[in-house]
Structure 1
Amino acid sequence: MSGVDRTTVAERIVAFLRSRHPFKTAEFAAAETNLKAETIQKILDRVSMPSGVTLIYLVGAYGPEFLAAAMGDRAPQWLTAAGQDAELARLDAEMAALKARREALANR
Structure 2
Amino acid sequence: MSFQDLADIATFVADGLHRRERQQQIFPVRDNDQFCDGTYIGPILDIERDVAQQRINRQGDVVRHSLEALGRPVKVGEVVEINYRDDRGRVTDIGVVRGIEK
Q: Same fold (TM over 0.5)?
A: no
Q: Name whichever structure is richer in strand by fraction.
A: 2
TM-score (norm 2): 0.22
TM-score (norm 1): 0.22
